Amino acid sequence: MSTPSLQRVVITGMGAISALGIGAEALWQGLREGRSGIGPLRHPDADRLKLKIAAQVPADFDPAANIDERTVPLLDRTSEFALHAASEAIGQSGIDFGQSALGLRTAVVVGTGVGGETTQDEQSRRLYAENAQRTHPLTIVRLMTNASASQISIAHGLRGPTFAVASACASANHAIIQAAQMIRYGMVDAAVTGGTEACLTYGAMRAWEAMRVLADDTCRPFSANRRGLVLGEGAGIFVLESLEHARARGATILAELAGSGMSADATDIVMPSAEGSSAAMRQALADAGLAPQDVDYINAHGTGTQANDVTETKAIRLAFGAHADRLAVSSTKSMHGHALGASGALELVAVIGALRDGVVPPTANLDQVDPACDLDYVPNVAREMPVRAAISNSFAFGGLNAVLALKRAP
């Protein structure tokens, strides 16, 4: 019995909402300009928090725009972000699922690290601070982790496998990998996938304060004077298709999702392992059929914490050997913040832009050399250079690693 050939997977649509603006192009233009979306925290309880900065979606974002008015009351902020990004991605792809049997063979897989935290926070406040006797009747449908995936499915008539993925800061990459694998093995022809997060609630921010990993000035990945991560929010959603399907309908292809790698450190719940993350990078290269020297750019996890940045530097050297010194590496979290389960999706927009436009976005705020972080981190200013292939790293608390490998559009 012959083994069926695997389908190649391509990206034909992308959408985003982030601290750099509404839309994937707004995000990409901000990144290539080296412009930071980090600013003073806007929150009703800001005076009760030590945290004073965040990477927040613009204040003029209209959550009800382009969403059926009957759906709006059902949505947590996480789902609002996801629906907006999904509509943009599907619009760019040119697929009208409502007029196509393709909806039966389209998956929806969305990652989120926290889920409906805004709803959880609001209803907990009602119960414990205001002594309310009941919560809002739509609490469960707003806060459940799969809400964003389900709402995208309903909004666009997508009836294939639909589910959520939760693996902290690796959630988006894990979701994208699961969606791509279903296409590769012929389970579906297309997928709507990515990540979303709205984690800037009072309870969540106080919890992050307690971990003592937050910066108080800005996010400075790989810089000697880095002081920690900056929390962000937003969503990135993509349309994936088999190459065969995309070509048959004459789609514009943004990039090829050529491979992926996943691993677990199995060492510590918060301390990263260079061996674990390098294993995921090596797997992604092998899965994509790439040699280390084929890769020109790495979008790093690069959170700006002391432990993460040094460990990731070591991991890249372990995975790429001598070629590590010839890689362009940058952390775009310096501009869109650390959006937890959405981060990998926002960073995929950066990788697609680098492949498409031949521009590597910079690591903003990198103003002091750290001898322990000794790679080419593209400091402060974007670099024009050909990018044939790139990888995107996401590493999560719990020791969970998910790496995407991409090539230029075929």
CATH code for residues 259-408:
3.40.47.10
Give the list of residues 6+ apart from residue 336 with CB closer than 8 angstroms, or none: 18, 19, 20, 27, 30, 31, 37, 55, 232, 234, 343, 346
pLDDT (tens, 9 = 90+) of the chain, 410 residues, equals 455 689 999 999 999 999 999 999 999 999 999 999 999 999 999 999 999 999 999 999 999 998 999 999 999 999 999 999 999 999 999 998 877 789 999 999 999 999 999 999 999 999 999 999 999 999 999 999 999 999 999 999 999 999 999 999 999 999 999 999 999 999 999 999 999 999 999 999 999 999 999 999 999 999 999 999 999 999 999 999 999 999 999 999 999 999 999 999 999 999 999 999 999 999 999 999 999 999 999 999 999 999 999 999 999 999 999 999 999 999 999 999 999 999 999 999 999 999 999 999 999 999 999 999 999 999 999 999 999 999 999 999 999 999 999 999 99
> Residue ranges per domain, the chain?
9-248, 259-408
CATH of the domain spanning 9-248: 3.40.47.10
Question: Which sequence positions are flagged as catalytic?
Answer: 169, 301, 338
pLDDT at 100: 72
3-class DSSP assignment, residue 403: strand
Q: CA triplet 263, 316, 172: central angle to 5 degrees?
A: 45
Cβ neighbors of 324 (< 8 A, separation 6 or more) are 316, 317, 375
For residues 247 and 226, give the distance between their C-alpha atoms in angstroms, rounded to a whole number: 45
Give 5's contacts (C-beta < 8 A, 6+ positions apart).
none
Cβ contact 173:109 at 8 Å:
no
Question: 406 - beta bridge partners?
Answer: 257, 390
* Residue 277: its H or E element: helix 274-288
Report the candidate in 402, 404, 396 with the shortest Cα–Cα distance to residue 113: 396
Same fold for the domain at 9-248 and the one at 259-408? Answer: yes
- Taking alpha carbons only, the member of 286, 277, 338 closest to residue 313 is 277
DSSP 11-28: EEEEEEEETTEESHHHHH
CB 4 within 8 A of CB 186: yes
Token digits for 146?
Answer: 């799969």
